[in-house]
Chains A and B, each alone.
Chain A
Amino acid sequence: MMINKIGTNLKNIETPELIIDLDILDANVNTVSKAYSDSHLKMRAHTKNLKSPYLARRQVEAGGSNGGVCTAKVSEAEVMVEGGFDNILIANQVVSDDKIERLCSLAKFADMKVGIDNIDNLNNLSKFAIKHNVILGVLVEINTSMFRCGVRSPDLAVELAKRAIELEGVNFKGVMSHQSIKGYTTEEERWKIGEEYIDICLESKRAIEEAGMDVEIVSTGETFTFDIVLKYPEITEVQGGTYALMDLNYPYMPFDIAVKVLTTIVDVDDDKITIDAGNKCIAAPNNATPLIEGVKSDLVEMGLDYSVHKILDDKKYNIGDKVYLLTTHEDGLMNRWDKFVGIRDEIVEGSWDILGRGCHH
């Protein structure tokens, strides 16, 4: 495989290549660090986006973190435990027996917590934890807006919390939720939507407390609410995923896009350019098309290994010119690559394995 070596100038990089601008990454991470260092809540970076223990370590060491991370899967948690993390929340359900066994195995090396939304699953977690003589932390997942996993009512949250307290092998820790925003028109609206979702999560937290149980962890909020969460003294940690590398989804947040695909123009035809990056190396789901950085353009065609873009401004391009492609889906982008190249001032500083890539299981 072709490797872009340390010291290579951007203009000589073989393309397509996944690039992380380390200065932008540091700036993004420091923005959160400054916000949370002296606050009552801390960042628990969601590593399903980055998939790299190295990048997660940079987030934690910047400050404002509780030292833990989130993952979406057992396999990602395994990567993070191997990477030296000992406080992990799998912000998702783990239901297959095999995977619960692996979760229990991890609990011998790290403080493992997992989301729950079902009594049978909770019972099963307890059964395996007892078998392996470990304790699994459990957080009730609350549905606030996405209508996938997560309980739909505070009553069920209370029921799950009660059962978790009764069972051996599991330790009821609190509640968690994840939400997304599809777009908004004003800052006021962003705050309104963010508060509305967080309030749904807190409603369950309060119901559990009113039923006489302690709630140690409230893990909620994400990139689009990273500032809104600060007004809630009940929130203990924030599951920030996108903010470190960023994508096109949050242009209104105080973070810049650090992760990009460097591409080469391989054809120019009137007002259209073809570049050497397509679906295999950049995600374009749900018609959320990638854009060329700094160029007014429309995606015309997304092939597997190329894409065609119509140029809407007056700039002229030549075959061989390099342009950056930006993604609308940072998660999907990182998952397509085995390595990323870190650059500073347009010079390659190093390349790192994306160890959590392909960890579907």
Chain B
Amino acid sequence: MERPIKKDPGTHYTKLDTPSLILDLDAAKTNLTLISTKLNSLKLKVRWNVNSHLTKDILSLQMKSVSDTKGISVTNISQASVFSSLSDDIIVNNVVLSESKLSSITELNASPVYSSILQLNKIKSIYSGGLYIKIRIDSDFKFESDVIKYLLNENYSIKGIIFEFYKYEKSKNHVVQKFLNNYPSTLNITDNFIASGDIAIDDYEKLDPNFTEIIIDKLPLTDIDCIESNPQVKESVKVLTTVLSKPDSERIILDTGQKAVNIDYGFPKVKNIQSAQIGYLSAEHTNIELNDQDHSALNIGDKIELIPSDISSIMNQFNFLSVVKNDKLISTYEITARGAYK
């Protein structure tokens, strides 16, 4: 049996098998140009968070489009292994504890990230390589002096500091400033101050000037949240679905459910149908209520487009992206690190 179902280049996107995850290549390139232009005006390098797209072809596109690329951020060793052919500057932006994983980190010349003494204590007998320190800029921000003392006493080689925002917040600037003004010299680091989190393009320039890098998450891919935060970007991703049933006069059922469109971070949006209200998504279906006019205009088999609520989790559900240009399929990108969790 043919599997997965891929159509020939030139196929109009509405003729793709559904549900399909579709990338508009021109929109993606426009988004990358926006980033590149902004970064050129600042002294920031970019580090791509491949955990958001899991796709080697997209990383290649990102690196080709934005010359100020420093490296990549991955979440685990499996991802590092997948993407190591494209970048030799890899931060495993997560705590790694097991000996075999730390050994792989050394082999890949990657660097792990730590945020507590407990974690560092756990690995000190099995890992002596360099590492990054991660600081979450949240309400209970704490990076106590005893951590600094510990790091110095244990002779860890600190390669950089990652400040993890949840979006940029001006009110947190003083926290970053305090840290950057006091600790780097103690820790003997002068570079690699990295801002991460879902920071909007317009907020890049509001970051503390000491930052040398920014980790970019979703872009050039977009979702509901990304478009709201970055109104200047082009919508680049959608999910194509089919009307499977019109079981009553106010409802349509789509052939797409949670197994394709993850709803753990919210419902998707229905494109181009004003009255459409998503009732719920079960494993294989989306249940949509709409008004008489919209209901009458739709037939079983018609195509409906959804905008994902969170692109990162949805990329992990599909095996490939259908890449379109001028509404025609030009390629498919394998989602190379899908399911790479270790």
Q: Mark A residues whose CB is within 8 Å of B.
A: 1-2, 14-17, 48, 72-73, 75, 78-79, 81-82, 92-93, 95-99, 102, 105-106, 117-118, 120-121, 143, 146-152, 264, 266-269, 274, 276-277, 279-281, 283-286, 302, 304-306, 319-320, 329, 331-332, 335-338, 357-361
Query: In the complex the two chains form, is A48's CB within 8 Å of B283's CB?
Result: yes
Query: In the complex the two chains form, is A73's CB within 8 Å of B284's CB?
Result: yes
- Can you report 28 A-B residue pairs in the complex whose CB atoms are below 8 A from each other? A1-B81, A2-B77, A2-B78, A2-B342, A14-B98, A14-B100, A16-B341, A95-B300, A96-B18, A96-B242, A98-B17, A118-B246, A143-B247, A147-B287, A148-B287, A267-B95, A267-B118, A276-B95, A280-B316, A305-B76, A305-B341, A320-B97, A335-B317, A336-B316, A337-B339, A338-B339, A357-B339, A358-B319
Query: In the complex the two chains form, is B247's CB within 8 Å of A149's CB?
Result: yes
Given A2-B78, A75-B3, A266-B119: A302 and B264 within 8 A (CB)?
yes
* Chain A CB within 8 A of B235 CB: no
Residues from chain A with a CB closer than 8 A to the CB of B244 are 92-93, 95, 149
Residues from chain A with a CB closer than 8 A to the CB of B338 are 358
A16 to chain B: closest residue by CB: B341
Give CA–CA (A306, B92) in the complex, Å.
Answer: 14
Query: In the complex the two chains form, is B282's CB within 8 Å of A146's CB?
Result: yes
- B residues 111-161 touching A (CB-CB < 8 Å): 115-116, 118-119, 121-122
Query: In the complex the two chains form, is B247's CB within 8 Å of A266's CB?
Result: no
Number of residue pairs spanning A and B whose beta carbons lie under 8 angstroms apart: 174
- B residues 62-84 touching A (CB-CB < 8 Å): 75-78, 81
* Chain A CB within 8 A of B312 CB: yes
Query: In the complex the two chains form, is B341's CB within 8 Å of A280's CB?
Result: yes
> What's the tally of chain B residues with a CB closer than 8 Å to chain A?
67
- B residues 276-300 touching A (CB-CB < 8 Å): 280-285, 287, 299-300
Give CA–CA (A118, B253) in the complex, Å.
Answer: 12
Residues from chain B with a CB closer than 8 A to the CB of A146 are 282
* Chain A CB within 8 A of B245 CB: yes
Among the listed B3, B259, B284, B301, which residue makes an inter-chain contact with A92, where contact means beta carbons less than 8 Å apart?
B284
Majority DSSP secondary structure for residues of A touching B = loop
Residues from chain B with a CB closer than 8 A to the CB of A337 are 339
Given A72-B283, A121-B300, A148-B282: A360 and B256 within 8 A (CB)?
yes
Give CA–CA (A82, B2) in the complex, Å.
Answer: 11
Residues from chain B with a CB closer than 8 A to the CB of A99 are 17
19 extra interchain contacts, Cβ-Cβ under 8 A, other than A279-B265, A281-B341?
A2-B342, A14-B101, A48-B283, A96-B255, A102-B2, A117-B247, A143-B247, A149-B244, A149-B245, A268-B118, A280-B341, A302-B264, A305-B76, A319-B122, A332-B283, A336-B339, A358-B4, A358-B317, A360-B318
B302 to chain A: closest residue by CB: A95
Residues from chain A with a CB closer than 8 A to the CB of B115 are 267
Query: Which of A99, A102, A118, A148 gathers the greatest number of chain B CB atoms within 10 Å?
Result: A148
Query: In the complex the two chains form, is A267's CB within 8 Å of B341's CB?
Result: no
* Chain A CB within 8 A of B220 CB: no
Query: In the complex the two chains form, is A332's CB within 8 Å of B259's CB?
Result: yes
Residues from chain A with a CB closer than 8 A to the CB of B243 are 95
Given A264-B97, A305-B51: A285 and B258 within 8 A (CB)?
yes
Among the listed B121, B264, B301, which residue makes an inter-chain contact with A285, where contact means beta carbons less than 8 Å apart?
B264
* Chain A CB within 8 A of B34 CB: no
Residues from chain B with a CB closer than 8 A to the CB of A152 are 247-248
Given A285-B264, A361-B17: A320 and B122 within 8 A (CB)?
yes
Given A96-B17, A118-B300, A280-B341: A148 and B245 within 8 A (CB)?
yes
* Chain A CB within 8 A of B313 CB: yes
Give CA–CA (A274, B94) in the complex, Å.
Answer: 11
Residues from chain A with a CB closer than 8 A to the CB of B255 are 95-96
Among the listed A82, A149, A284, A306, which residue makes an inter-chain contact with B264, where contact means beta carbons less than 8 Å apart?
A284
- How close is A294's CB to chain B, nearest CB, in angstroms? 21
Query: In the complex the two chains form, is A147's CB within 8 Å of B339's CB?
Result: no
Residues from chain A with a CB closer than 8 A to the CB of B17 are 96, 98-99, 361
Residues from chain B with a CB closer than 8 A to the CB of A332 are 258-259, 283
Give CA–CA (A127, B244) in the complex, Å.
Answer: 18
Query: In the complex the two chains form, is B253's CB within 8 Å of A149's CB?
Result: yes
B118 to chain A: closest residue by CB: A319
Residues from chain A with a CB closer than 8 A to the CB of B75 are 304-305
* Chain A CB within 8 A of B19 CB: yes
Among the listed B118, B313, B318, which residue makes an inter-chain contact with A279, where contact means beta carbons less than 8 Å apart?
B313
Residues from chain A with a CB closer than 8 A to the CB of B263 are 285-286
Given A268-B118, A332-B283, A358-B4: A117 and B248 within 8 A (CB)?
no
